[in-house]
Structure 1
């Protein structure tokens, strides 16, 4: 091959390589919009642990890839492109660092993405390492944040454990857990509110299926087990707080009698009220909704709604006018709520908040 021909061929290959090179978007890009309790102690490597933590943005370009560094290889994420929430691409995160192509062949012009963590702290932490756009692509100004804010403290019902599982199937398969479709997330979208989903499957107020409870856990920056990280409550303040706890207490105390000496009725009320009062101290202006259900803690004849009512009535008697209770009815379905039940619960809670807060 002549030297001139070889030079031309190499130049053509180099040009082709440059043409296909992507545009890197660092986690510190000002046009990325983060939602949730995220650890930004290393700004270029934010750590995501809580369910339904989200990253959103607008961009131009024909493709998008996401790079994640997952601690255990157990987390799942939704990726919604251009607002198509009915057809997410689901990332099954591999352990370690990996780039995931989530969109290709997009038409030229403006596009949007929303990434949400389907899973919980018990599946481990994920470090977000950034995005890559197609050659020539760029980030645009982020979407406008909702002005309303809701925080929900809860257990597996709130986290969406098994919500995408078939009605007659087991509900502890990690892939079937989708916090984006829990009643908490649906309610927040119904009300156009930004959501912090502070929840953990198996957790209770007095006892859990593991050696820590929500009073140990609620103030953590990281949701990976019981740890000494600390969330800055002054950094994000909700207008409405929903507390949906005590289902696990009912199972572990009411059925299994695993907390000994077993608390009497007054002690159960006091334990719940102590936690709610702590939330009130943190959020003095928020409207607090003390919820329960829709699993068997709200079945007919259950004592557990009464404990919550008693705590709320006592707080109201002592001057807290911005607190109330709501209960999601038990349908007789014994497993974790599926999508239908989550939507029904969201309808109840949405209507309740609209009435009480005027949204």
Structure 2
């Protein structure tokens, strides 16, 4: 009997401890603040077809809110169970809660120990369209807690069209580590997102790992993809360009073209120099048609497409021709140096590239 008592005591302690943790995680009463509430601040190409479940698919799409209370949970309905999000509470950007979404609808506990008073929140999509879309269903707060007026939307606007570099593929990986893990893809620390924060600008990132202007690692190219509302593959959704106009557009493409044309010989017949330049011009003109007054920065790098002058020269020639033939003075170039590192740029490289881009935009836009 003594042995049985000794065995039961630790089990009872474990049960009581589990109950205490459960009580700490779930308050006695909570309230769901649905996604259609006017105090949520959405950023990016968000699909509001269902206002109770707006869908986020592009990297860097985000939701900001201010709220009261000590408890916070997030309700998401994820398409594939492959997306990751930064949950940034009270401005803690360096050590956010990293949420790995499960497929389907789930409530994700974030904290039950927030201090009394007001708090801030940002839900930020680290991953991209190839990981699927995610519907936001709302926040769960403590009983009696509420949303407060949201933060002010930045007046400056910036948009990027890019590939894996702009998405942030592999940027959290070790220098000698893997380059493809979804958990190490973090758009928050991609060069464009860092630049936008430096400039206090609202950012839309239209990017897809592996995409090119003439050829991609999959059947569609950026000229077929750039105008979509949804980033999930090549689809028939359409973004309304008139609802959001950037001041600055950055185009960072041709990295995948350089690999697939010169190295892999995947585009046949192989385009000559003039065809490459014209393809770039055609895409830039399609962006210019949407934004007649925006400053367009034609960038490249920092992977090996800038290891020599060949592909940067295509861009320089295209820009010079558009400035002359179309009298387009709001066109410039920025190139990020190849460091010799053979994989996707890590966060240190993104920070360096962001410094260069930030300085250029500040001077150009007088920001």
The normalised TM-score by structure 2 is 0.92
Secondary structure of 1:39's match? coil
Matches within 5 A, 1:1-359: 20-299=28-307, 301-318=308-325, 319-359=327-367
Shift of 1:19: 7.2
Cα-to-partner distance string for 1:310-351 (whole Å, 9 max, x where unaligned): 111011112000010010000000100000000001001001
Distance in 1 between residues matched to 2:40 and 2:56, nearest whole Å: 14
Distance in 1 between residues matched to 2:278 and 2:78, nearest whole Å: 40
Say if 2:27 and 2:142, in contact at 8 Å, map to a contact too. no
Pairwise CA RMSD = 1.0
Distance in 2 between residues matched to 1:90 and 1:335, nearest whole Å: 24
Say if 1:81 and 1:103, in contact at 8 Å, map to a contact too. no
Shift of 1:265: 0.3
The number of aligned residues is 341
Match of residue 12 from structure 1 = none
Shift of 1:302: 3.7
Secondary structure of 1:20's match? coil
Secondary structure of 1:43's match? coil
Distance in 2 between residues matched to 1:77 and 1:186, nearest whole Å: 17
Cα-to-partner distance string for 1:203-242 (whole Å, 9 max, x where unaligned): 0000000000000000000000000000000010000000
Secondary structure of 2:329's match? coil
Distance in 2 between residues matched to 1:355 and 1:106, nearest whole Å: 41
Distance in 2 between residues matched to 1:159 and 1:169, nearest whole Å: 18
Distance in 2 between residues matched to 1:330 and 1:249, nearest whole Å: 16
The normalised TM-score by structure 1 is 0.94
Match of residue 21 from structure 2 = none
Distance in 2 between residues matched to 1:207 and 1:118, nearest whole Å: 25
CA gap of 1:139–1:256, structure 2 versus 1, over 3 A, is: same
Shift of 1:144: 0.5
Secondary structure of 2:110's match? strand
Distance in 2 between residues matched to 1:232 and 1:190, nearest whole Å: 27
Instruction: Mark the runs of 5 or more structure 1 residues left unpaired by the alignment.
Output: 1-17
Distance in 2 between residues matched to 1:233 and 1:102, nearest whole Å: 35
Shift of 1:161: 0.1
